[in-house]
Chains A and B, each alone.
Chain A
């Protein structure tokens, strides 16, 4: 499902910063993988590259068999929209839009009929157990609820890939555990390929496979 061959990422400034170097990684369809490592090891860079938010300096990335490097900006956006769902540490909900509107955002961007969008957005919120909060604004929700809305948004197109960057990093232990359960539940129900970047050992260990990054390189790959 996801394949990285000799992928590197450099940032050229006054001196070159190596964010990721010669990474080879293959993730099968339906796998749930945690990515761990100390700060600055390249975890988020790896996730950004897989998610098409950034482009590698060298190497090849394939998502569902499609080479990312050859895609134009808009094609990359379409790939992101249709095949990848993002869950961010800081939720990244739009504060002026209601829960339904936030979840409907990618559906609107694809130009689906309005009735279908509304139906689907409500169904997704129902899936993450937020049926009571359809018309609330993000400011009116708790941290856990906001992350649920973000997860519902990520599932808008039932993407085969879900990328979560520290999904519990901004939540208390109890809420974090709830969100983790929800992600596992979705994994089982939707059979999506899920990558979770985390600092949290509990989150990492809950995944069947853990990839460890250190100094921009893969330092370990453990399957349980």
Chain B
């Protein structure tokens, strides 16, 4: 401890800027980790809280995927002796149009029986109305809101709230206000309660319920109740405690959480290089000091502990700052996450409360400190190995020893050879990923050698450009590769990641666009919501005839989409009239032949599945799949596999008549509408809105709008990956600043001489800027080459293991063209402060500097 105070603290104080920059990687990594974890936890907690609060005393819930089920299921449930109370529920979210209030979650219940499961705690004065449920039922426009929602919007008993329904825009009357707390806290207080039979009309559910909440008879355990209900209802139903919904949501959130965790860990990984660089430099610069300490009797262990102690303190300070920063942007990240989940999966979100797990903050702190100590381990070990006599001699320590260089190159070649071997055996997936890891290792091992060679190559052009400034800039890199190599490695990794992601995005967007061109070709789409993901409202089947009657309409194809569980994952069923659809679209067939597909699938004798579902769940042509339905399991063979991007976890294309029969659901989410040849799409759209929109909630979207929407969602998802690229780039740029700051300090005398013999300020700045640009250029060259290799691995991983849809290898030249000026300008910006330090330092001191 005394050594830390006497030896380390003065050094840190003297190199304050560098010390701050050193911890920047840790700050960013930990901040991202804490921010994302806090945001995800808050979003998940808000969802669970909503589920929990509106579940009331319900112990189990009966569902049948997203399709819901017919009313008669309620009687079957009530007939089960273990069931004390069974209450049907419809749940949907609506836009109220109240400014800044977001969505209102509607819980539709049967008031006559529901109070045995849920407590309705009303404000004074409302008891009279609600105490007689028949009064509530008698008026289908009745709505109960929470105290919080009423307070925010100045509502009271008798106030009117409007929202769109399947019967057109409707006014609802507030007939009760729930007291704060309990159920009223669900969905951030944005909760409305209405009668379930009114809701069937409002949301187009026909005579269906979304689920039934169950209270078990006294003495019946959860397992007994679950078993009894499963037996009574058959395999098409899901009987789970309310927490099961949270788990499903968590599995959707999981993909996103994983992506963001990788981002923060990557930032920490890049941070390792920056810390390693700083400590390696510090050990070199403090060699004489270490020598004196050793000569005075300090043991190797004490020296090692000194440097590790410094790194632990740096890590602790960086982590603490990271935690503070992370907490500061948790709220905005939670908002972003919620929006994304709603846009992609159609799950309404309302996160008002930010939850942070103190245990996780501790984990983040420990992770930050550990990262810092791991990064400083090798420099600390090197410091401990310093021999006192050698340390007190002057010399160059920034050079890479030939032996060290050779060993690195040999290790890199070995790693490369092994990675090629792994690639050859990549059908064993763990070996494929091991190969990827070995490639990264080889790139990192080769980086110092390659950056040295590239610096030598650059000397000529730089010298030609500016004879003195250029030569000195290149020489600075050539003479001190140790100073530069870790920064170049960090930059190389960041750029490789950016290029690989860029390539993947390019290929993904292109594939999705090709798929859309082939399949999303109707002129108009009539949907229940402006976001195609939300399925709160449904159209009646009869609307198909109404649409066909609109002048100019040539063909109408009803589509119903609903998630069901297949192989433990939520998979999308797309129920449509397959024969009619296939006549209009162009499919890319992966397995099977068009004729069999077009014959068997429309006849309901088989299903067609998406390629991603086939890859992710290892389903093959001819295999029988079993879909859980309210009428029992539906077993059908796979008669075709096609390229499909309609759902991340895969889709099953099922003939509509079969769906209607098995799921007892003839509602529709979306109509694909083709207009007659010669008819104007805009005019048909206007006619549809005019004829049908007056009495029904609907959105008519043009082909362009739908394609833009799908592209937008895809970009939003892919945009996430750029956060990690951005963070990594920031860390790498901080690395350049760090390296240049050290370089200026090392070259103080050299720059002093340059000024003494006539170097103008602009010329001194020039040499520092050229050095920065050279680091940027070397990083770009190595990053581009490494990125090309990383892209191959990412394309393979996404095609085979993550998305299940193969992507073409396309090198993103456009992104590289964009990165070149971005990195070079960033390098120049990084050089501004160090360059100013160089021109403003005392010339006399610089010339005396030893």
Contacts and interface: CB of A to CB of B under 8 A. Distances in A.
B692 to A, nearest CB: 77
Interface stretch (B351-359, B747-755, B789-797): B747-755
Listed residue (A81, A96, A106, A117) with the most chain B CB atoms within 10 angstroms of its CB: A96
Contacts of A58: none
B753 A77 contact: no
B760 A77 contact: yes
Given A94-B753, A96-B478, A109-B468, A80 B758 contact: yes
Interface string A38-74: 0000000000100101100000000000000000011
B757 A53 contact: no
A51 B843 CA distance: 11
A48 B468 CA distance: 24
A108 B766 CA distance: 13
Contacts of A92: 749, 752-753, 756, 847
Nearest to B755: A77
Contacts of A86: 756-757
Interface string A105-127: 11011100010010000000000
Interface in A74-114: 74, 77-78, 80-82, 86, 88, 92-97, 101, 104-106, 108-110, 114
Given A53-B847, A80-B756, A86-B756, A94 B761 contact: no
B763 interface: yes
A54 B758 contact: no
A153 interface: yes
Q: Which secondary structure dominates where chain B touches chain A?
A: helix
A109 B756 contact: no
Contacts of A48: 844
Nearest to B758: A81
A110 B479 contact: no
Q: Which secondary structure dominates where chain A touches chain B?
A: helix
A53 B841 CA distance: 12
A108 B472 CA distance: 12
Contact of A105 (B752, B757, B762): B757
B757 A109 contact: yes
Given A77-B758, A109-B760, A96 B753 contact: no
Contacts of A96: 471-472, 475, 478-479
B467 A108 contact: yes
Given A88-B847, A108-B467, A94 B756 contact: no
Interface in B747-802: 749-750, 752-763
B750 A109 contact: no
Contact of B761 (A53, A74, A110): A74
B468 A108 contact: yes
B758 A78 contact: yes
Contacts of A80: 756-758
Nearest to B848: A44
A89 B750 CA distance: 15
Nearest to B842: A54
Given A53-B844, A96-B472, A109 B758 contact: yes
Interface in B164-209: none
Contacts of B762: 74
Interface string A174-187: 00000000000000
Interface string B824-849: 00000000000000000011100100
Listed residue (B479, B755, B758, B762) with the most chain A CB atoms within 10 angstroms of its CB: B758
Contacts of A82: 758
Listed residue (A82, A104, A106, A114) with the most chain B CB atoms within 10 angstroms of its CB: A106
**Nearest 4 interchain pairs by C-beta:** A81-B758, A96-B475, A108-B468, A106-B758
Given A77-B761, A78-B758, A97-B475, 17 more contacts: A48-B844, A53-B843, A54-B842, A73-B761, A74-B761, A77-B758, A77-B759, A77-B760, A80-B757, A92-B753, A93-B753, A94-B475, A96-B471, A101-B471, A105-B754, A109-B759, A153-B757
22 contacts: A48-B844, A53-B843, A54-B843, A74-B761, A77-B755, A77-B759, A77-B760, A80-B756, A82-B758, A86-B756, A92-B847, A94-B754, A95-B479, A96-B472, A97-B475, A104-B467, A105-B754, A106-B758, A109-B760, A117-B467, A153-B757, A156-B757
